[in-house]
A and B are shown apart, each in its own frame.
Chain A
C-alpha cells in the first residue's frame, strides 16, 4: 500500500520557494526526508497502539498540492503585543509584529533565515519523531520560526504565534519551529490555530527548557470544521525547569496532537491541562508520552474531553518513570463528558513505573451531565439549554483557572464558552 499523501506535492510553487532553498544542509535534510517518504508504505502502522483509532484513510485518500500564497485572510483582533502570523504556512509580515521583544529574546520566521541561521539551529533539520508525518513535515515545512531566550531573559508579557488555515481547497501546509529557553529564562507564549481552511496541516515544534527555565504555554486549536491536522510538540526539560501547558482542542475535523515530554533534569516539572470540546463527526486524539528520565521529577497531567453528537475523543496517556528516576511524582487524571449516545471517548491512561519511592496516581472517568446539578440550576430559573452549557463549560473551566496571565485566561475561557455555546 503506497500512500498518495506521501508523494511529493504535485507542483512546487516556484514563486514561493521553501525557506532555506539553496542552503546545502537544508536541501540535504529535505532530500533524505523525501527519500524516506518514498520508501514508506503508509502514513503510520495502523496496528501500532497509538495509531489504532486514527482514521488513516481520511488522510491518505488524496494527493495534496502545497497551499499557495493566500490571496486574502481573515482579520485578526487588534495587536496586544509581539506576534508572528502565518497563513497556510506562509509568513505574513503585514499581520505580524516582530518588534517589542524584551532584551535577550529573539525570533525569526523560517522564511527569513539565512544560511548561518540554519547552521546555528541545525536542530530544525532533525526529525521530531519516527513516523512518516515527521518526514513529511521536515521535507515541506514552510511556516514556523526559531524563538530563543538567552540565559536569564524574561518575557512576562505574552508573545503570540498564530497559524491561520486559509485555503479551502484540497492542499497541504506545514510548519516547524524550535523554541529554546536558556538557564532561568521565562517565557509566556500563546499559540493559536485559526481560520476556516480545509486540507491537511502539520505542525512540529521542538521545545528546549534550560536549567530553571519556565515556560507558560497556552495552545488554542480553533481550526475550522474541515481541517485535518497533525501536531507534535516535543519538550525537553532540564533541571529545575517548569512547563505549564494549557492546550485547548476545539476545532478541526480530524486532529492528532502528540505531546512528548522528557523530564531530563532533577526537579523538572510539567503541568498539563488539556481540554477537548468536540461535536459533529470531529475526531481528536491526544497522544501523551511523558518520561521521567531522572529522579525527583514531577508530572501532573489533567485531561478532559467533552464529546457531543458523533464526535470521538481519544487519549493515549503514557507516563513512564525510568529506572533510577527514584522519588518522582506522577499524576494523570482524565475526566470526560459524553453529551450524546453516539459520541465516544476512549481514554487510555497508562503508567509504567520502573523506579523506587515513586508517587504515582492515575484515574479515568466517563460520564454524562449530572442530572442533579442540571435540575438544581433549572429549579432556580435557568433554562435547560443555558443550564447544560453552564455545566459543560464548568467541566472545562476548572482546567483553565490556573492560567497565570489574566488576559490569556480570559481569552481561553472565551474560546471555550464560544465553543460550548455552538455545540450541536
Chain B
C-alpha cells in the first residue's frame, strides 16, 4: 500500500527527516510515536503534499504510484487522508458545502458519478451518528468556532465520509477527554477494513488501548529508531523516549 524509502525532508532550511523508511501493508494499522518536535507532523504533511516541506532525497510509493509527484488534491483522490493535528478554521466556507465539494471533487477525479444532495445528506447522517456530532456544526463555517474536541471529531467524521485507503491521524487524541477519545476510536475502528490502512501518530500510549495497532514505530532523530508490536508502546509509556537516539549520526 505505502512504502517510504530513505526519506529526507527539509523545513525552512533545516533537515527534519533524515532517511526515514516505513512500509504499511493494506489493512494494517501502524502507530508512530515520538517526542515533541521529532518530525511526526512533518511526515504527515509530506505525505499529504504540503508546500514548504522539501524532499531532498528518498521516495514514497502509494499503491505503486510516485506519491511525491502528485498534487495534494490528486493524493486525496487517490485515497490519502490526513487528519490534521490542528484543523484549520475557514470562516465563510460552509461546512456542508465544503464536504460535498470535497467528496464530489474526489469522485470526479476518480471518474465516478457525483452525489446529488439527497444521496450526500443520507451519507452524512449515517456517518454523523457514530461520532455524535451535532447537526448544527454542519451549518457553520468549516471548523468555525468548534471546540478542540469537536474539531478532532470533525476530522474523523470527514475521514468516514471520504472513505480513504490510507488515513494518517496526527495526534487526533491530543486534548481529548476519555469520552471523546472513545468516540474517536470508535469512529476509527468502524472504518477499519481489509483495504484501508492507518498511520496513527500519537504522543501517548493511551489511544492504542482503543485502536489496536499491528505495529508500533518510534520516530526519533529523523528516522524510525525502533519498531515493534503493541508492547513497545507500553515500554515507551513506562520508560520514556530517553535512551533512544535523538540525533542520527
Interface residues, chain A, with chain B CB atoms under 8 Å away: 371-373, 375-384, 386-387, 390-391, 393-398
Given A375-B51, A380-B162, also A394-B93 (CB < 8 A):
yes
Decide: A377 near B98, CB < 8 A? Known: A383-B73, A384-B73: yes
Return chain A residues, CB-CB under 8 Å to B50: 375, 379
Smallest Cβ-Cβ distance to B164: which chain A residue: A381
Complex interface: chain B residues within 8 A of A397 (CB):
92
Residues of A within 8 A of B142 (CB): 376
A378-B73, A381-B162 given as contacts; is B88 within 8 A of A372 (CB)?
A: yes
A275 CB to nearest B CB, Å = 12
Q: Which of A371, A378, A391, A398 is close to B76, meaning CB atoms less than 8 Å apart?
A: A378
Q: Is the CB of B91 within 8 A of A398?
A: yes
CB of B158 within 8 A of CB of A390, answer: no
Using Cβ atoms and an 8 Å threshold, which residues of chain A touch B158? 380
Chain B interface category by residue count: 20 to 34
Q: Residue B187 at the A interface, CB < 8 A?
A: no
Which residue of A379, A384, A393, A397 has the most chain B CB atoms within 10 A of its CB atom?
Answer: A379
Alpha-carbon separation in the docked complex, A386 to B105 (Å): 10
- How far apart are the CA atoms of A27 and B24 in the complex, in Å? 87
Q: Could you tell me if A379 and B101 are in contact, using CB atoms closer than 8 angstroms?
A: no
Contacts of A380 in B (CB 8 A): 76, 98, 102, 158, 162
B49 within 8 A of A: yes
Give Cα distance in the complex from A384 to B77, angstroms. Answer: 13
> Which B-chain residue is minimally distant from A378 (CB atoms)?
B72
With both chains docked as a complex, state the minimum distance between the C-beta of A393 and any C-beta of chain B, in angstroms: 8
User: Given contacts A386-B101, A386-B105, A390-B101, are A377 and B90 in contact (CB under 8 A)?
Assistant: yes
Q: A residues within 8 A CB of B91?
A: 394, 398
Using A373-B90, A377-B90 as known contacts, list a sample of 14 further A-B pairs with CB atoms less than 8 Å apart, ordered by residue number in A.
A373-B88, A376-B142, A377-B102, A379-B82, A381-B73, A381-B76, A381-B162, A382-B98, A382-B105, A384-B73, A393-B92, A394-B90, A394-B91, A398-B91
Q: Are B88 and A382 in contact (CB under 8 A)?
A: no
Q: In the complex the two chains form, is A382's CB within 8 Å of B102's CB?
A: yes
A395 nearest in chain B by CB position: B92
In the complex, chain A residues whose CB is within 8 Å of the CB of B162: 380-381
Q: Which residues of B contact A372 (CB under 8 A)?
A: 88
* A397 CA / B101 CA spacing, docked (Å): 17
- Output the nearest chain B residue to A400 by Cβ-Cβ distance: B92
Contact A382 B87 (CB under 8 A): no
Q: How far is the CB of B150 from chain A (nearest CB, A)?
A: 16
Q: Sort A-B residue pairs by CB-CB distance and give the 3 closest, nearest first.
A: A394-B92, A381-B76, A380-B102
B49 contact set on A, CB distance < 8 A: 378-379
Contact check, B105 vs A381: say whether CB atoms are below 8 A apart. Answer: yes
Tell me whether A381 and B93 are in contact (CB under 8 A).
no
Residue of B51, B77, B84, B141 touching A381 (CB-CB under 8 A): B77
- Contact partners of A384 in chain B: CB under 8 A: 71, 73
Instruction: State whether B90 touches A376 (Cβ < 8 A).
Output: yes
B88 → chain A closest CB, angstroms: 4
B 80-109 binary contact with A (CB < 8 Å = 1; else 0): 011010011011110000100111011001
Contact in complex: A378, B71 (CB < 8 Å):
yes
Within the complex, which residue of B48, B75, B77, B90 is in contact with A391, where a contact is CB–CB below 8 Å? B90
Closest A residue to B141 using CB positions: A394
Contacts of A398 in B (CB 8 A): 91-92
Docked complex Cα distance between A395 and B91 (Å): 8
B51 touches A390 (CB 8 A): no
A397 to B158 CA separation, bound complex (whole angstroms): 24
Q: Looking across the interface, which residue of chain A has its beta carbon closest to that of B106?
A: A381
Cα distance A377–B141 in the bound complex, in angstroms = 13
Give Cα A376 to B45, complex, Å. Answer: 11
Q: Could you list some 7 contacts between A and B, CB below 8 A?
A: A377-B98, A377-B102, A378-B49, A378-B71, A379-B50, A390-B101, A394-B91
Q: Please indicate which of the listed interface residues A371, A375, A380, A387 has the most CB atoms of chain B within 10 Å of its own CB.
A: A380
Q: Are A375 and B101 neighbours in the complex by a CB distance under 8 Å?
A: no
Interface residues as binary, B126-161 with A (CB distance below 8 Å gives 1, 0 otherwise): 000000000000000110000000000000001000
B residues within 8 A CB of A382?
Answer: 73, 98, 101-102, 105
Within 8 A of A (CB), among B53-91: 71-73, 75-77, 81-82, 84, 87-88, 90-91
In Å, the complex CA distance between A371 and B45 comes to: 13
User: Please, which residue of chain B has its CB at the minimum distance from the CB of A380?
Assistant: B102
Cβ distance A374 to chain B, nearest Cβ, rounded Å: 9
The smallest C-beta distance from B140 to any residue of chain A, in angstroms, reads 12
Q: For A376, give the chain B residue with the smallest CB separation.
A: B88
Kindly state the separation between the CA atoms of A299 and B162 in the bound complex, as whole angstroms: 45
Query: How far in angstroms is the closest Cβ of chain B from A177?
Result: 33
Give the distance in Å from the alpha carbon of A376 to the alpha carbon of B109 in the complex.
18
* B103 to A, closest residue via Cβ: A381
Pick from A373, A379, A390: contact of B48, CB under 8 Å: A379
Provide the residues of chain A in CB contact with B82, threshold 8 Å.
379
User: How long is the Cα–Cα vector from A99 to B102 in the complex, in angstroms?
Assistant: 47
The residue on B at minimum CB distance from A399 is B92
- A379 and B93 contacting across the interface, CB-CB below 8 Å: no
Q: How far is the CA of A373 from the CA of B86 in the complex (A)?
A: 11
* CB of A81 to closest CB in B, whole Å: 28
A396 to B92, CA, bound (A): 8
A66 CA to B156 CA in the complex, in Å? 64
Q: Which residues of A contact B75 (CB under 8 A)?
A: 379
A383 to B214, CA, bound (A): 34
Q: What distance in Å separates the Cβ of A376 from its nearest Cβ neighbour in chain B?
A: 4
Provide the bound-state CA to CA distance between A367 and B81, in Å.
29
**Hey, which chain A residues are within 8 Å of B48, CB to CB?**
375, 379
**A394 CA to B101 CA, complexed, in Å:** 14
- Could you tell me the distance between the alpha carbons of A287 and B36 in the complex, rounded to whole angstroms? 51
Central interface residue in B73, B91, B141, by most chain A CB within 10 Å:
B73
When the two chains form their complex, are residues B51 and A371 in contact, meaning their CB atoms are under 8 A apart?
yes
Chain A minimum-CB-distance residue to B142: A376
Q: Which of A373, A382, A396, A397 has the most CB of B within 10 A?
A: A382
